[in-house]
Amino acid sequence: MLRAMPDSPPAVATGSLAELVRRTWFLEDELLLLRALVPRGSVCLDVGAANGIYTALLARLVGPRGAVHAIEPQPFALRNLRAVRALLRSRQVTLHQLALADRHGELRLVVPRRLLQVHGRAYLWDADADPHVYTDEFRGVDDLTVPTTTLDALVEELDLPSLAFVKVDVEGAELRLLHGAAATIARHRPALLIEVEDRHTQKYGHTAAEVFGWFADRDYRAEALISGSLRDVTGTVPGVRNYLFRPA
């Protein structure tokens, strides 16, 4: 269900970035929201940083006095992130080779494979069930054992004085991450841009609606970028993967 927003949304960026996003198929439209969400000098997290597209833009937005912490458990993606950081000379970017979940320890990371590994579809798995049931579209899977911690523990370890923005792409494990992030979200009230889809959350035995409910219980509102405009939503919208959650 959609409704018009009662106040002004963050402006959608125009100019060279908008043109680049329009012309580049793998760049998400939600990148255009970041300029209005990320203040200069702020602290941000990129959880599931993959190849660093969000990390690179966040580093530019926060500037040299800000900080971006990119969290990514996959070694191949980490190599790409290091290359991006070196290319941009972004001293404000710190890389963390781990996964964020609801516990500290280790978990299995399932990486689907076609001819090559599909790093963007990797997901955490600790159930007894065969993970292949969720990878029928792929030729197979590879397994990694990766270190895990909670977002709360990471923020405490880093002694972050503030947290303005968190981007999350964890292929269905959003509630697991949020259960380990409750204290940080209550304290800092950051904006969060999260990929939420039922096709991914079903792996963990819940629906996307439960993610929206978790935020509603904490006085957050959900928004989605639809036809170029940011709109309030109460749940998932066909054709939309990423949702912005901000304090109401």
All structural domains of the chain with their residue ranges: 2-106+155-247
Q: Please name the CATH architecture into which domain 2-106+155-247 falls.
A: 3-Layer(aba) Sandwich (3.40)
Nearest one of 57, 66, 56, 49 to 167, comparing CA atoms? 49
Buried b / exposed e over 20-45, threshold 16 CB at 10 Å, is: ebeeeeeebbbbbbbbbbbbeebbbb
Percentage of residues in the chain with pLDDT exceeding 90? 60
Mean pLDDT of 211-218: 98
Distance from C-alpha of 162 to C-alpha of 155, rounded to nearest angstrom: 9
Q: Label residue 123 left, alpha or beta by phi (over 0 means left) and psi (-120 to 50 means alpha).
A: beta
Percentage of residues in the chain with pLDDT exceeding 70? 83
What would the pLDDT profile of 60-88 be if each residue is shown by its tens digit? Answer: 999 999 999 999 998 888 888 888 888 77
Distance from C-alpha of 12 to C-alpha of 152, rounded to nearest angstrom: 30
Q: What is the pLDDT at residue 148?
A: 96
pLDDT bucket at 25, cuts 50 / 70 / 90: very low
Q: What is the pLDDT at residue 75?
A: 84
Q: What is the pTM of this model?
A: 0.86
